[in-house]
Amino acid sequence: MCLIAFAWQMSGRPLLLLGNRDEFHPRATRPAGFWNEEGHPQLLAGKDLEAGGTWLGVTRSGRFAALTNIRSPAACRGPRSRGDLVRDYLTGRLSPEAYLTDITQNLGDYAGFNLLVGTMQELWFLNSDEAQPRPLEPGVYGLSNASLNDPWPKLQALCRGLEERLDSDCDSDELLELLKDSREYPDDQLPDSGVGLEWERRLSAAFILGEDYGTRASSLLAIDADGSITFVEQGFGPNGQELGESGWIL
């Protein structure tokens, strides 16, 4: 994913997460669904058909994980796909802390990433540049393609929108609308992540429109205090073409 805002242990709910996955449109992807064919019927996630991993997923038991890339054109690619990190946690049994600690021994296998792994009781975070797993306290957080809570305009706007709705009775459609903000920000508010000004402008939008590259999916993941799980995914094609919505309550 490229943009995530999430509320952890807020308003009586363990997790409420919103995220956009931005990717090149030709890259083969399977929409969210259960991984029955792979022998993991408990896992609900989309699938990158090119590398075999995923960017966001949850299991019936409430294990969840999400990933964003760190945007650094000079960084080494790494021999393994970052999507493996989400998949391997969700199909494994290690605790969040143990899993991230294990990963720190092999950070050179992956290009830069931010990784969230959790259960209903705990949520841990790892930034590959910092190389130090840490638990997250209750609060509202944001992740894009830098570090946790970096002050990128689109990230701050999404976090504000999520926080303003935590105590309201808004439904999933209203929450997902927050992810459809396609405005680009002024040059003096843009980060310098090494991709050039034209791309910085394009990537400054929460919802990226484009023929070749753009937002491919918007997702909502909510885990309630009683253990029930809601997962909604909206798919998009070039230039924001709507491809449909799927939802599950577990």
Counting other chains too, the contacts that 235-240 makes at CB distance below 8 Å and 24 or more residues apart are 235/31, 237/25, 238/25, 238/210, 238/211, 238/212, 238/214, 239/209, 239/210, 239/211, 239/214, 240/182, 240/207, 240/209, 240/214, 240/215
Q: What is the pLDDT of residue 194?
A: 87
Alpha helices (runs of H) in the chain, residue ranges in sequence order: 83-90, 96-103, 153-164, 172-177, 197-203
Q: What is the pLDDT of residue 151?
A: 94
Residue partners of 195: CB distance under 8 A and separation at least 6: 71, 73, 203
Which of 164, 244, 154, 168 minimizes the C-alpha distance to 208? Answer: 154
Angle between helices 83-90 and 96-103 (to 10 degrees): 140
Cα 183 from Cα 206, distance rounded (Å): 8
Cα 222 from Cα 38, distance rounded (Å): 25
The list of the chain residues with pLDDT below 70 reads 74-75
- What domains are there in the chain, each with its CATH number? 3-249 (3.60.60.10)
Q: What is the pLDDT of residue 75?
A: 67
Cα 4 from Cα 109, distance rounded (Å): 24
DSSP class of residue 24 equals E
> Radius of gyration (Cα) for the chain, nearest Å?
17
196: left (phi over 0), alpha (psi -120 to 50) or beta: left
Q: Positive or negative CA dihedral for 232, 222, 113, 118?
A: negative
DSSP class of residue 103 equals H
